[in-house]
Chains A and B, each alone.
Chain A
Amino acid sequence: GNSVTQMEGPVTLSEEAFLTINCTYTATGYPSLFWYVQYPGEGLQLLLKATKADDKGSNKGFEATYRKETTSFHLEKGSVQVSDSAVYFCALGGSGNTGKLIFGQGTTLQVKP
């Protein structure tokens, strides 16, 4: 079945460091891919998405490119801030329209000043 695998956390970085959080997926068909962010005590918010191969999603300085050949959707940011500290989830959407998402296990990011 479909699945998503993210790198284990926690990831601890200093402010202004470069961030990469790896995400790979297994799926049939042509799923959409998403990154969600969860700040402490809150629900998940969409960070960015990509709906087809080679699409690049971007938002708030974060980017991820849908790579079909490597079945990956790695999240990157050139210079992290303390306010980026959160849990990041990679998710796989179905090719249909049920809205069902399959989430990775989440990666906790802690940015220190």
Chain B
Amino acid sequence: DTAVSQTPKYLVTQMGNDKSIKCEQNLGHDTMYWYKQDSKKFLKIMFSYNNKELIINETVPNRFSPKSPDKAHLNLHINSLELGDSAVYFCASSPTSVRNSPLHFGNGTRLTVT
């Protein structure tokens, strides 16, 4: 009955590879997000989708491409992985119909690029 689930939990890959991270939420929320947490624990938003439409796209290299097939899923595909992409990536969701509603986070995907 996990609310926001991400797969995989760990991802180790080499530079230059392409990889995907998947996220699903069963909370009925209409907005989903990707956040990146660096080695110093700093969190920064990357993307946000509302009802499958992109509404926030921060300054992120275009090697990162989010895709939302429906409002319960938000995947993140990364092309040509670089060492600096190593981080923990968190998916989150919230109901935008409820003002100031908190975000619900998944447990993260730890990406290590070697």
Q: List residues of A whose CB falls within 8 A of some B CB.
A: 32, 34, 38, 41-46, 49, 51, 87, 89, 93, 97-103, 105-106, 108
Contact = CB atoms under 8 A, between A and B. Distances in A.
B106 interface: yes
B59 to A, nearest CB: 12
Interface of B: 4, 31, 33, 40-45, 48, 55-56, 90, 92, 94, 96, 99-103, 105-108
Binding site secondary structure of chain A: strand
A97 B50 CA distance: 11
Nearest to B96: A97
Contacts of A32: 100
Contacts of A43: 4, 90, 92, 105-108
B31 A106 contact: no
A99 B33 contact: yes
Contacts of A87: 41
Contacts, number: 59
Given A43-B90, A43-B108, A101 B103 contact: yes
B43 A106 contact: yes
9 shortest interchain CB distances as A-B pairs: A43-B105, A46-B102, A106-B41, A103-B43, A44-B105, A99-B94, A32-B100, A43-B107, A51-B100
| Most chain A Cβ neighbours within 10 Å, of B43, B94, B108 | B43
A99 B101 contact: yes
Contacts of B41: 38, 87, 105-106, 108
Contacts of A38: 41
B56 A105 contact: no
30 contacts: A34-B102, A41-B107, A42-B107, A42-B108, A43-B107, A43-B108, A44-B90, A44-B103, A44-B105, A46-B102, A49-B100, A51-B100, A97-B99, A98-B31, A98-B48, A98-B96, A99-B33, A99-B48, A99-B96, A99-B101, A99-B103, A100-B45, A100-B56, A101-B45, A101-B103, A102-B45, A103-B44, A105-B41, A106-B41, A106-B42
